[in-house]
Chain A
Amino acid sequence: MIDSSHASDEEFIRLDGVEKVFDVRRRNGFLRREKHQVRAVDSISFTVARGEMVGYIGPNGAGKSTTIKMLTGILTPSGGRLRVAGIDPSRERTRLAQHIGVVFGQRTTLWWDLPLIDSYRLMHRMYRIPDARYRANLDRCVELLEMGHLLEVPVRQLSLGQRMRGDIAAALLHDPDVLYLDEPTIGLDVVSKAKVREFLRELNAERGTTVLLTTHDLTDIEQLCRRVMVIDHGRLMYDGALSGLHEVGESERLLVVDLERELPPVDIGPAARVVKVEGPRQWLAFPASESAAPLVARIAAEYPLVDLSVREPDIEAVIANMYATGGERLHPQAENS
């Protein structure tokens, strides 16, 4: 068992059957209230190695933020065991704080009324960052996130993208081992998103900072994370490579065929089904795991085929499908990450 503060690099973050149950009181009639429990996180186990960059995704209310809050120590788990860098977050929140950086996309760590640089000066004192290191880290962030002209601007006057970059820099001044990002690109335009992603990629490559990234933007995940965890209803539904999601998601590919003329839906048995017909063009869905070649051959043999194309399922569709089906059958997959 790893205890004490010496976490192995393999299990830098480790969750064993972690649960979080909230008591919620609901109005039930005029004055009566009914108490019931909500399992926001229901027995989640995973490990993250030092230097990994992991995407943590799920629909709204799935338990992502609750997990992040437990990992920062501001929420105490109702059950299970949780360690970050060998530290029990809720017990030793202050000691853990030196090891972690947190960016909540919808909140800010910056002081609204003050110039950006003032917030950084406070961080400098708060995390007791040695002067030289503070200066070097600040210079680096300012350069990479292009914030030179923003330092003297009060935070309330920053645009969302500027503020987000400011927040990311604030989370990194003390060289944290782990960076939790809770929707860091929410509300950002394409250019700002790209900047943030580029910066995170470099941070991970150069510093080996472990990154746990929560997002609704799957492009974030596709561009940054090799590993992805999907959570829904407080349970881990998938943990593995991003590419593996297609296989477990029972996703379908689309074969788009252009025929010579308008014809009734193509019938080639159970291998594919027509999902849409529009004039001479027809859309056929077939399992992503099957090859398209035999289908094409059959259609070409039996129908007047003019043109065709195959569309890969996009990751969003896969995940939407996963959320919708509740992921029951995906559980075995989650075990052998």
Chain B
Amino acid sequence: MGQGRLYAAVAVSGFRRYATYRMATAAGVFTNTVFGVILAYTYVALWDERPGLGGYDQAQALTYVWLCQGLHAAVAAMGRGMEMELIGRIRTGDIAVDLYRPADLQTWWLASDVGRAAFHLLGRGFVPMAFGALLFELAVPSDPLTWLAFLVSVALGVVVSFAIRYLVALSAFWLMDGAGAAQMAALAGIFFSGLLLPLNIFPGVLGEIARALPWSALLQKPADVFLGERTGLALLETYAFQGAWAVALLAAGRLVQSAATKRVVVQGG
């Protein structure tokens, strides 16, 4: 009960911390919009050549582009969320401060990342999406239930994304500097989340693998829900897929966390 209020407060402060940096938000929105335009025209060329590629028509494909541009900051598909900060704290030894607090490390960072994601969803989601809708004809769902189902999927995507990045960050306890691991994870995220190309169009085994990896829970799954590709039982399957990865990765994070704090080498005086 009391702890619930704590983590709610942590989430709120996570939101406010990112809300502080308005120029960074504006720059991010601008970049996403520019990339959206580039990708959109690429997709137009691609879908002109191969209509119905990956089961999407052209409007769906364009919607996919703008949705991903609006969403990738929230689900931190390219990283740059709490993991860089946590890695920094482990590297400098500031993690000591986090460890003597009467709070759970993983839940704490999850709450703070949820706050960040909420800010990025609001601050960096709408503008690219609206801009895309102005320039192109998008397939935006009209049913509010689809929007609701989509938001649930996004929330699950945020948790999966957090769970991956938390593991990446904890590697710093052993590697002393987790920047390399974070970079690898970011690259994997860009590719396997479907940020560049929808995972639907990946052929054969590569496609199967890409769609089964946890990163597909970040963008591909929420996008499928948004585009009305997942309803009824298929929607529940999507949730189950995302939920299972979330639980498995969070559990792995807990294990690594307890190993890390047992052998903790708090660096620096």
Question: Do the two chains bind?
Answer: yes
Flag B9-25 by CB within 8 Å of A: 1 or 0 each: 11001001100110000
Q: Are A74 and B94 in contact (CB under 8 A)?
A: no
Q: Are B6 and A122 in contact (CB under 8 A)?
A: yes
The reply to whether the CB of A104 lies closer than 8 angstroms to some CB of chain B is yes
Which B residues contact A (CB, under 8 angstroms)? 2, 5-6, 9-10, 13, 16-17, 20-21, 93-94, 96-97, 99-103, 261-262, 264-266, 268-269
Please report the C-alpha to C-alpha distance between residue A201 and residue B93 in the assembled complex, in whole angstroms: 29
Q: Are A73 and B13 in contact (CB under 8 A)?
A: no
Question: Which residues of A have CB within 8 Å of B93?
Answer: 107
The reply to whether the CB of A72 lies closer than 8 angstroms to some CB of chain B is yes
Please report the C-alpha to C-alpha distance between residue A97 and residue B266 in the assembled complex, in whole angstroms: 18
Q: Are B97 and A75 in contact (CB under 8 A)?
A: no
Q: Are B13 and A111 in contact (CB under 8 A)?
A: yes
Q: How many residues of A contact B (CB 8 A)?
A: 33
The reply to whether the CB of A154 lies closer than 8 angstroms to some CB of chain B is yes
The reply to whether the CB of A31 lies closer than 8 angstroms to some CB of chain B is no
B82 CB → nearest A CB, Å: 13
Flag A94-123 by CB within 8 Å of B: 1 or 0 each: 110110101010111101011000100110
Please report the C-alpha to C-alpha distance between residue A104 and residue B89 in the assembled complex, in whole angstroms: 14
What are 8 of the A-B contact pairs (CB < 8 Å)? Answer: A73-B99, A74-B264, A102-B97, A106-B268, A114-B13, A114-B16, A118-B16, A126-B102
The 3 A-B pairs of least Cβ separation, nearest first, read A97-B102, A125-B6, A113-B17
Question: Which residues of A have CB within 8 Å of B2?
Answer: 125, 128
Which A residues contact B (CB, under 8 angstroms)? 22, 60-61, 65, 69, 72-76, 93-95, 97-98, 100, 102, 104, 106-109, 111, 113-114, 118, 121-122, 125-128, 154
8 additional contacts (CB under 8 A) given A97-B102, A114-B20, A122-B9: A73-B99, A74-B96, A74-B266, A93-B100, A95-B102, A102-B100, A106-B268, A108-B97
Q: Are A125 and B269 in contact (CB under 8 A)?
A: no
Please report the C-alpha to C-alpha distance between residue A40 and residue B93 in the assembled complex, in whole angstroms: 17
- Of the listed residues B93, B96, B100, the one surrounded by the most CB atoms of chain A closer than 10 A to its CB is B100
Please report the C-alpha to C-alpha distance between residue A10 and residue B217 in the assembled complex, in whole angstroms: 57
Q: Are A98 and B269 in contact (CB under 8 A)?
A: no
> Which residue of the partner chain B has the closest CB to A90?
B262
Question: Which residues of B have CB within 8 Å of A93?
Answer: 99-100
Q: Are B13 and A100 in contact (CB under 8 A)?
A: no
A60 contact from B20, B21, B97, B269, Cβ within 8 A: B269
Please report the C-alpha to C-alpha distance between residue A109 and residue B17 in the assembled complex, in whole angstroms: 15
Question: Which residues of B have CB within 8 Å of A154?
Answer: 20
Question: Which residues of A have CB within 8 Å of B96?
Answer: 69, 72, 74, 104, 107
Question: Which residues of B have CB within 8 Å of A60?
Answer: 269
Please report the C-alpha to C-alpha distance between residue A178 and residue B16 in the assembled complex, in whole angstroms: 32
B91 CB → nearest A CB, Å: 13
Question: Which residues of A have CB within 8 Å of B20?
Answer: 113-114, 154
Please report the C-alpha to C-alpha distance between residue A315 and residue B173 in the assembled complex, in whole angstroms: 40
Q: Are B265 and A98 in contact (CB under 8 A)?
A: no
Please report the C-alpha to C-alpha distance between residue A127 and residue B102 in the assembled complex, in whole angstroms: 7
> Which residue of the partner chain A has the closest CB to B7?
A125
Question: Which residues of A have CB within 8 Å of B266?
Answer: 69, 74-75
> Which residue of the partner chain A has the closest CB to B262?
A76
B102 contact from A65, A94, A114, Cβ within 8 A: A94
Assuming the A-B contacts A125-B2, A125-B6, A126-B6, are A74 and B99 also in contact, with contact meaning beta carbons closer than 8 angstroms in the complex?
Answer: yes
Please report the C-alpha to C-alpha distance between residue A104 and residue B96 in the assembled complex, in whole angstroms: 9
Please report the C-alpha to C-alpha distance between residue A102 and residue B100 in the assembled complex, in whole angstroms: 8
Please report the C-alpha to C-alpha distance between residue A73 and residue B261 in the assembled complex, in whole angstroms: 10
Q: Are A104 and B99 in contact (CB under 8 A)?
A: no
Q: Are A126 and B101 in contact (CB under 8 A)?
A: yes
A125 contact from B9, B21, B94, B97, Cβ within 8 A: B9
B14 CB → nearest A CB, Å: 10
Please report the C-alpha to C-alpha distance between residue A76 and residue B16 in the assembled complex, in whole angstroms: 35
